[in-house]
Amino acid sequence: MSRTQKNKATSGHLGLLKAKLAKLRRELITPTGGKGGDKGEGFDVPKTGEARIGLIGFPSVGKSTLMNKLTGTESLAAAYEFTTLTCIPGVINYMGSKLQLLDLPGIIEGAKDGKGRGRQVIAVARSCNLIMITLDASKPAVHKRLIEHELEGFGIRLNKEPPTLIFRRKDRGGITFSSSVQTSLTAESVRAICAEYKVHNADVILREETTEDELIDVIEGNRIYIPALYIVNKIDAITMEELELYDRLPHYVPISSGLDWNLDGLLEEIWSRLNLIRVYTKPKGQIPDYGAPVILRNDERHTTIEAFCNKLHKAIIREFKYALVWGISVKFNPQKVGREHKLRDEDVVQIVKK
């Protein structure tokens, strides 16, 4: 692909190569019947709490040290590589919520000793609500790219939204391609990619800039879109000038887990990337229970009064008459609302039953 000049005439060819590559990668990472045995003892940790966060990085970047500082868990930390060999869970208590933090082995295979658990680690990463890519500030910057490449190869898309393109299979009519904007994805490459996937009839409709890789992602399915933070650890070991080189990195948090530098700042970033809200319940005639917020995912579907009720108890919604809400989601305090009302962070809710 790097030998092929990028232009209109070659775009079909490049699209085809990308599709072939994506298919080969999938074969490589899908466990085959014969040797499915490396599923991984010590990696099937049950989900707990309001969200799951995974520590991903090269060996000895300080993942376990950070884990211990944030959760009080005792995950062995030491100066040699591959100290951690399984998935170790801990709990971060923050803003009245419990967040599950997973300490994991270093991700890049140890060539010498074969101790690496790359495949199992990435399978766990796929189940996370937030990935903390942990880097050693004193190590080469290319490590970031290598980790991202590993995760991307296993279908994880970091800090990205799912593509907005419409891909509709149909029974006849061939491949139709339309786009309301100028994009890098051309009709030629759409045809080539579809042909490679043996899709002969489909509508492909673009509404914004779309790449060949994004079309392939949609056809392949099984991609997951996970927010990520880049934790640059061991900043005690570098100079101010070296630290400044990281400034342009989006979603980056400099810390020293060894010396406890900026761990509060890190917790704030974690909370903000998880995009959760706290809602307080108020029993009739009493003050709100500020000690135990109900934690909701901050999106259209999960912030309704109905979602809030279901989080408390499945039976509540059947007796629901209306709710009284105090806070920034309403104009009056309190305001009477129905089950469709959308809550905001730190709202107080009193449920009135039939």
Token pair belonging to 190? 């759409």
Residue among 97, 118, 120, 100 nearest 108 (CA): 118
Q: Does 233 bind ligand GTP (CB under 6 A)?
A: yes
Helix axis angle, 142-153 to 118-125, nearest 10° = 80
List the beta bridge partners of residue 280: 348
* Residue in 11, 71, 84, 189 binding ligand GTP, rule: CB under 6 A: 84
DSSP string, 202-216: EEEEESS---HHHHH
Q: Does 236 bind ligand GTP (CB under 6 A)?
A: yes
**Which range, of 82-90, 144-152, 191-199, 323-331, touches K ion by CB under 5 A?**
82-90
Binding mask 245-264 for ligand GTP (x = CB under 6 A): -----------xxxx-----
- What part of residues 3-62 is at the interface with ligand GTP (CB under 6 A)? 57, 59-62
Q: How many residues does the chain have?
A: 354
Strands 97-103 and 51-57, sheet pairing? parallel
Neighbours of 217 (CB within 10 A): 21
To the nearest whole angstrom, how small is the minimum distance from the Cβ of residue 277 to K ion? 36
To the nearest whole angstrom, how small is the minimum distance from the Cβ of residue 109 to K ion? 15
Residues 282 and 271: their CA atoms lie apart, in Å, by 24
Q: Which lies closer to Mg ion via its Cβ, residue 11 or residue 84?
A: 84
Q: Does 117 bind ligand GTP (CB under 6 A)?
A: no
List the beta bridge partners of residue 133: 56, 230
Q: Does 78 bind ligand GTP (CB under 6 A)?
A: yes
* Residue in 60, 65, 256, 350 binding K ion, rule: CB under 5 A: 60
CB 309 within 8 A of CB 317: yes
Number of residues counted as binding ligand GTP (CB under 6 A): 25
* Residue in 12, 55, 56, 64 binding Mg ion, rule: CB under 5 A: 64
Token pair belonging to 187? 């009709």
Q: Does 68 bind K ion (CB under 5 A)?
A: no
* Residue in 10, 73, 83, 86 binding K ion, rule: CB under 5 A: 83
- What part of residues 78-137 is at the interface with Mg ion (CB under 5 A)? 83-84
Token pair belonging to 235? 């900043």
Task: Provide the binding-site residues for K ion, judged by CB under 5 A.
Answer: 60, 83
